[in-house]
Amino acid sequence: MNIKLKIWRQPNAKSKGRFETYSLTDVSSDMSFLEMLDYLNNNLIREGKEPVAFEHDCREGICGSCGIYINGRAHGPQHRTTTCELRMREFKDGNTITVEPWRAAAFPVIKDLIVDRSPLDKIMQSGGFVTINAGAAQDANSILVNKKNADEAFDSASCIGCGACVAACKNSSAMLFIASKITHLAQFPQGQVETHQRVKAMVAKMDELGFGGCTNTRACEAECPKGISISNIAKLNREFFVAKLKE
């Protein structure tokens, strides 16, 4: 198939960006979206032009590196799919595809489609952990966890930290990201111990780093490649209120 690409090009954080248009022929429908970009870059390099910079690594939907806004949607049109898992069979011959980086004040563009998502790491640092040193744990089966809680913890913990929720949200809120971590750890007895400090610290850090608040548009849930439910945010709010009440 033949396609047209409108891609955001921006040499670095300081310079202004703009869209460039490229035509690509003989695109195979089996290609992944990133393989299509590889193909474009291969052509560009041979023509002596600068290839499009984009972030990627595992290419199997788990590392969370890739994150591209495709035709106005985080990770493109396919539900519960990361950019690297997206196949060109989702597009039609003759399509024009618009390709942009994540757009969020907290995620400045580094180059072309690559943004700085380090604020997510900073939020994690503020409290997204259980305080225990190596060697201090008791036998794993001495902590019993109801299967339902364990399964819910798993679902929440399947967040890959790609930032699609932030990019999709009109407020650029990181609520779903934080909520998945809070909910994950709150399901376990060992995570309960410091749950109040955790929720307060992580929410405060999110505000400090320039992410917006949640206005329940549910865009995050719709675009999350791992299908993390907005019910996590309800649980976060509950944890947060309880924590505040206990102050």
Partner 1 sequence: MNKLNSKIPEGPLADKWTKHKASLKLINPANKAKLDVIVVGTGLAGSSSASTLGELGYNVKVFCYQDSPRRAHSVAAQGGINAAKNYKNDNDSVYRLFYDMIKGGDFRAREANVYRAAEVSNLVIDHYTALGVPFARDYGGTIDNRSFGGVQVSRTFYAKGQTGQQCLIGAYSALTRQIEAGTVTMYPRREMLDLVIVDGKARGIITRNLVTGEIERHSAHAVVLATGGYGTIYYLSTLALNSNASAAWKAHKKGALFANPSFVQIHPTSIPVMNSYQSKLTLMSESLRNDGRVWVPKQAKDPRKPNDIPEEERDYYLERRYPAFGNLVPRDVASRAAKERCDAGFGVGSTGLSVYLDFRDAIKKKGKKAIENSYGNLFDMYEKISGESPYETPMRIYPAGHYTMGGLWVDYNLMTTIPGLFAVGEANFSDHGANRLGASSLMQCSGDGYFILPYTITDYLADDIKTPRIQTTIPEFERTEKEVKERIDKLLGINGQETATSFHKRLGKIMWDYCGMVRNEEGLKKALVMIKELEEEFWKNLKVTGTGDELNQELEKAGRVADFFELSKLLCIDALNRKESCGAHFREESQTETGEAKRDDENFSFVAAWEYKGEGQEPELHKEELKFEFVKLAERSYK
128 to 187, contacts with partner 1 by CB under 8 A?
Answer: 128-141, 143-147, 150, 153-154, 157-158, 160-161, 184-185, 187
Contact segment (CB under 8 A) with partner 1 among 98-106, 109-117, 214-222, 234-242 equals 109-117
**Residue 208 binding partner 1, by CB under 8 A:** no
Interface residues for partner 1 in 36-55 (CB under 8 A)? 38-39, 42, 44-46, 48-51, 53, 55
Q: Cβ 216 to partner 1, closest distance in Å?
A: 27
DSSP letter string, 179-206: HHHHHHHHTSHHHHTTHHHHHHHHHHHH
Q: In the bound complex, what is the minimum distance in angstroms from residue 238's beta carbon to partner 1?
A: 19
One of 9, 17, 20, 35 touching partner 1 (CB under 8 A): 35
Q: Which of residues 80-99 bind partner 1 (CB under 8 A)?
A: 80-81, 85, 87, 89
Helices marked H in the chain — which ranges?
A: 33-46, 118-125, 147-157, 164-168, 175-186, 189-192, 195-208, 219-223, 231-245
At its nearest, how many Å lie between partner 1 and the CB of residue 182? 11
Q: Using the minimum distance from each CB to partner 1, give the nearer residue, 142 or 170.
A: 142
Work out how close the CB of 143 gets to partner 1 at its nearest, in angstroms, rounded to a whole number.
Answer: 6
- Classify the phi-psi angles of 80: left when phi > 0, otherwise alpha if psi is within -120 to 50, otherwise beta: left
Structure tokens, 76:
């493109």
Residue 197 is a binding residue for partner 1 (CB under 8 A)? no
User: Among residues 125, 132, 214, which one has the least CA distance to residue 168?
Assistant: 214
| Of residues 34 and 97, the one with the C-beta less far from partner 1 | 34
- Sign for the pseudo-dihedral over CA of 77, 83, 85, 86: positive
Q: What is the nearest approach in angstroms of partner 1 to the Cβ of residue 114?
A: 7
Alpha-carbon gap, residue 83 to 153, rounded angstroms: 25
25 binds partner 1 (CB under 8 A): no
Could you give the angle at the alpha carbon of 225 between the alpha carbons of 98 and 173, nearest 5°?
80
CB 97, CB 6: distance < 8 Å: yes
Should residue 231 be labelled a site residue for partner 1 when binding is judged by CB under 8 A? no
Count how many residues are written for the chain. 247
**Single-letter code of the amino acid located at 6:** K
User: Does residue 111 belong to the site contacting partner 1 (CB under 8 A)?
Assistant: yes
By beta-carbon proximity to partner 1, the closer residue of 114 and 230 is: 114
Backbone angles phi, psi at 194, to 5 degrees: -115, 25
The helix (H) or strand (E) run that includes residue 115 is strand 114-115
Count residues binding partner 1 (CB under 8 A). 79
Contact flag: residue 61 with partner 1 (CB under 8 A): yes
